[in-house]
Amino acid sequence: MRGPNTPNAGDVTLPASSGPNSIPDLSEQVQSLPTDSDSDKSTFYRGWAWLVLVETRLSPAPPGRVATLQPLVKSCILVGSHAESCDVVLASGRISREHAEIEFDFAQGQFWLNDRNSTNGTHVRPPGGSELRVIARQMLIDGCQIRFADDAEFVFRCFAQKAAKP
């Protein structure tokens, strides 16, 4: 079930809204992103995302079942096998050092998956759809499955909410 504020893939223009906001101000990031109109400058999204591990052949296994992504802390989450540079570290020989990245678009409240020229590829299966390999940039919606090479498969959960720029 999708809530009224959950953005869809085609949402471009969104009405302005306001409410209590205890998270850091990210207005500067809104301004840094390209927007179509001036009215979009007054709104931005804040989002939450989770990667629920459903299948893995990693050794060692990830430290938990659920990885909570913090787009407000870092808008671009890098996934790979390199522990020093990646935010989600998947220790496997088939996973590239910098395999893919999950990016949050604050202006439109959408999550995107970018494959960073990984060797064994990144695959996305939307809910009710078929799996496809991410070539360059793929939008992520709530409930889609992400497979990094053949070693780790996650269910991507996300939620974005409009917030007004002060």
Partner 1 sequence: MTRIMNGARVFKSYWLFALLLGPLMALQGCQAPPTSAPVATERSSANSGSTPEWRPTASPQAAEPKATPAPLLSGTHRCAPAQAGAPGQPMICVRLATEPKRGQIRVVTYTNSGPGAPPSDIAAALDSRPLRQIRREQLQQRPIPMRAMVVLQLTEQRMPGLLAASVRSLVDVVFLSPQSTMGIVAYERNHRIVEELPLSSKEVVLARLAILEKRPANLDGPSFSTSDAVATALTQMSSQLQDTEAMKFIVAISTGADDKLTDEKKRTFANFAVNAANANVVFDWIYLKEADAGKAPAYVRDLPLRTGGVFFESTVDELRTKTDTYAQLLRSLQVVDFTLNLRRAEDPERERHRLVVGTVAPPQISVPLDVIVSLQPAVEPTTPPPTLANTAPVKSSARRGSSDAIWWWLTGFLLLGVVGLLLLPSVHEPARIAFWGSAAPLPVNQALTIRNMSTHEFSPSLGRLVAEQRRPPTPRPPVEWMDATPPGQNYVAWLLALDTGRVYYLDKLDITLGNDPACTVYINGLAPAAFRCRFYRDPNSRQTAIYPVDGAVVEHRGQRLTGPSYVFDQDEVRLGALLFRYFETRTVL
Q: Alpha-carbon torsion 115, 40, 28, 159, what sign?
A: negative
Distance in Å, CB of 135 to partner 1, minimum: 24
Q: Which of residues 17-46 bind partner 1 (CB under 8 A)?
A: 19-20, 22-25, 27-28, 46
Residue pair 79/51 in contact by the 8 Å Cβ criterion: no
Write the interaction track for partner 1 spanning residues 146-165; mark x where CB under 8 A is met and - where it is not: -------x-x-x-x-x---x
Q: Closest Cα to residue 127, out of 140, 109, 108, 111?
A: 140
Calpha distance 134→132 (Å, rounded)? 6
Nearer to partner 1, 79 or 134 (CB): 79
Q: What is the DSSP string of 104-134?
A: EETTTTEEEEEE-S-SS-EEEE-TTS--EE-
The yes or no reply on residue 1 touching partner 1 (CB under 8 A) is: yes
- Which residues in this chain contact partner 1 in the complex, by CB under 8 A? 1-3, 6, 19-20, 22-25, 27-28, 46, 48, 50, 52-55, 62-70, 72-74, 77, 87-88, 142, 145, 153, 155, 157, 159, 161, 165-166
